[in-house]
Amino acid sequence: MYKTIGKIGAFLYCATIVVMIVVFTIRDANRNLISDVVIEAGSNIKIEDFFKTCPEDARFISDVSTINTNEPAVYQLKVFYDEVFEKDVVLRIEDHTAPRGIALPKMLYTTWNAPAAADCVGYLYDLSGIAKVEYKEKPVFKEGGEFDIPVLVTDVYGNTATIDVPFTVIDDHTGPVIKGIHNLETVTNVEPDFFDGVTATDDYDDDPVIRIDDSKVDYETPGTYVVKYLAIDKANNFTTGTAEVKITKGTGNADAASGSEYDVSGSESGGSGGGGGSGRMSDAKRLASRVLSGLWRSNDVDTARAIFKWVHDHIYYSQCGSLSYASAAYRGFSKRSGDCYVYYSCCKMLLDLAGIPNMMVKRFPVTGSNHYWNLVKLNGQWYHCDSTRFKHRSSIYFMCTDEQINDKYHRFNGKLYPARAGGSTDFLPSDTPTPTETPTPEVSETPTPTPEISTTDGPTPTGSIEPTVTGADTPTPTPETTQGATVTPTPGVSDQPAPTVSPTPPPTNTPTDVPPPPPPPPTEETTKPTETKPTADDGDQ
């Protein structure tokens, strides 16, 4: 009996020892396991991260090869280790890295407003997308000098980088110097060349703009009239001057602009009512050649860009009635004002003299009034170019595809024109156009002063698109910027996550250029990680 009791006691003792060994083994195995792991977005998933001391047989049961670590998210995984253990673990992919980008140096005058913060930085990059670009404190410059202005770039998870942007600020209060103003003589119904021999120089602006006001001149009635000159520099300083125009009765109508039609073909013969076209064409070409002499560049693209910029910057919008092609070009070069047909005609004449193929594009269907712009062949392809001054944009439409110029002011019938860049042959604009947005290389802040000179502003469109100033030979950065987003960093998750762990959703205006990948479909052979992608908060929709 005692022997039996002894055997039972020994057995219980051994069993206790075994149980204790198993318990301690499980406890140690659990203590060695890290059940909640955070890795930085863009890094690799490693089994070693889930253990203090990684067992040799440790492996993932879940297929982690399907996880895109560039996308912040939370996954439920299953791991195997120490020959017998299968455990659920949580993998958190979080973005704690601030965006990257470069400063785009700016030059402006004390009379200008500071450009948008997003225009001061470029080549922005972040795995989760840019949520907001803003000044640390919007600058107001009261004096000239060199300044480093901090711009804050924040991603959708609240990581912020500070980029110091160099600003060169010029304090200029001296107006341009006008030379060569002289009295003019002409005959009835013929406008003289107001800019013949007239120049303007400035201490900072290499190309100040000269405008004239001949609103008091009656070209149909002989007499002596006063015209006003205005020279404006980029800092908005201006200088004025006056001259007399003596008009005598002519023997005929040299222009016959009244009642004439636009020369839709853009030919040199002028419109159907454009009498005296030969003399006016010769005069227009003479003035155009003088302008073109300062616009030649090393290639056709740069020369065309210089042409459109000159016309855009030096001709001011004003209604002028029907004109022939020659008369419209002459008006643009001699008076430096006119409507969209004048802008088109001046560009066409300069392009023709430069040997760059081009043709007219006419708005279709016509709604209210016509609009004209140029189709230009550059680098072997046809592009839309429009130098017209629009109130809703400060720069020109240059080398635009159909999609980039798709707004209500540039609707046209694509079947009437050769295939454009991008392969377009037929083009019918949509009722709700979605123009392609491209960054603007340079911000132009040159508001036009309104002293006693009388001018007429350009057309006032009700819609707007972002300026598109691109060239095939000019590399254009594509900064990843979305302004105005609310930044919500990811908070912590409870110590005991549910089988599906959801991260904090980003704001609804998170950039969509990095779409989340769909969760992988499950298979019978492996257990797939369970992921819940960020979704928009109902209150933000």
What is the CATH topology of the domain spanning 281-436? C8orf32 fold (3.10.620)
Least confident of 249-263, 267-281, 447-461: 447-461
Question: What is the rounded average pLDDT of the residues 379-392?
Answer: 92
Backbone angles phi, psi at 242, to 5 degrees: -130, 160
Query: pLDDT at residue 275 above 50?
Result: no
Residue 7: pLDDT band by 50, 70, 90 thresholds?
A: low
Mean local confidence (pLDDT), 59-73? 91
Confidence (pLDDT) at 279: 78
Least confident span in 222-236, 308-322, 523-537: 523-537
Q: Percent of the chain beyond pLDDT 90?
A: 55
Three-point CA angle 286, 292, 296, nearest 5°: 150
Please check whether residue 373 is in contact with residue 384, taking contact to mean a CB–CB distance below 8 angstroms: yes
Q: Which pLDDT does position 468 carry in this prediction?
A: 37
- The yes-or-no verdict on residue 163 having pLDDT over 80 is yes
**Is the confidence at residue 24, as pLDDT, over 80?**
no
Check residue 407 and give its pLDDT.
Answer: 85
In terms of Cα–Cα distance, which of 190, 152, 518, 231 is closest to 326?
Answer: 190
Q: What is the pLDDT of residue 352?
A: 97
**What confidence tens digit (pLDDT) does each residue in 478-509 have?**
333 333 333 333 333 333 333 333 333 333 33
Pairing mode, strands 199-201 and 397-400? unpaired
User: What would the pLDDT profile of 153-162 be if each residue is shown by its tens digit?
Assistant: 999 999 999 9
For the ranges 46-50, 399-403, 518-522, the lowest mean pLDDT is seen at 518-522
Angle CA 323–329–331, to nearest 5: 75
Which residues pair with residue 253 across a beta bridge? none
pLDDT of 108 strictly over 70: yes
CA–CA separation, 341 and 336 (whole Å): 13
Is the pLDDT confidence value at 436 over 90? no
Does the pTM of the predicted model rise above 0.85? no
Q: Are 391 and 467 in contact (CB under 8 A)?
A: no
**Mean pLDDT across the stretch 56-67?**
93
Given a cut of 70, whether residue 354 has pLDDT beyond it is yes
Q: How far is CA 517 from the centre of its chain?
A: 27
Average pLDDT (460-482) is 33
431, 433, 430, 438: which is closest to 466 by C-alpha? Answer: 438
- Token output for 129: 């997308």
Alpha-carbon distance 246 to 332, whole Å?
21
Structure confidence at residue 320 (pLDDT):
85
| Residue 280, pLDDT above cutoff 60 | yes
pLDDT of residue 408: 83
Separation CA 379–CA 357 (nearest Å): 11
pLDDT at 34 over 70: yes
Average pLDDT taken over every residue of the chain:
76
Going from N- to C-terminal start, the domains of the chain cover: 1-26, 33-94+490-540, 281-436
Note the pLDDT of residue 18.
Answer: 56
Most confident option among 14-23, 48-57, 247-256: 48-57
Spatial distance between the Cα atoms of 172 and 337, rounded to a whole number of angstroms: 27
Beta strands in 100-144 (DSSP E): 100-103, 106-109, 121-125, 130-135
The pLDDT tens digits for 173-191 are 999 999 999 999 999 988 8
Distance in angstroms (rounded) separating the CA atoms of residues 242 and 469:
37
SS3 sequence of 71-101:
CCEEEEEEEEECCCEEEEEEEEEECCCCCEE
Q: Quote the CA–CA distance of 287 and 383 in Å, as a whole number.
A: 26
pLDDT of residue 14: 61
**Residue range 401-409: mean pLDDT, rounded:** 88
Higher pLDDT, 31 or 539: 31
Distances in Å between the Cα of 68 and the Cα atoms of 63, 125, 507, 517, 532 are: 12, 18, 20, 7, 13
Residue 427 confidence (pLDDT) above 90: no
pLDDT band at residue 429 under the 50/70/90 scheme: low
Higher pLDDT, 228 or 443: 228
| Phi and psi angles of residue 312, each rounded to the nearest 5 degrees, phi first | -60, -40
| Interval 305-328: pLDDT, tens | 999 999 999 999 988 888 999 999
Lowest-pLDDT range of 40-49, 63-72, 219-228, 513-522:
513-522
Looking at residue 107, its pLDDT comes to: 94
How many angstroms separate the CA atoms of 463 and 390, rounded? Answer: 11
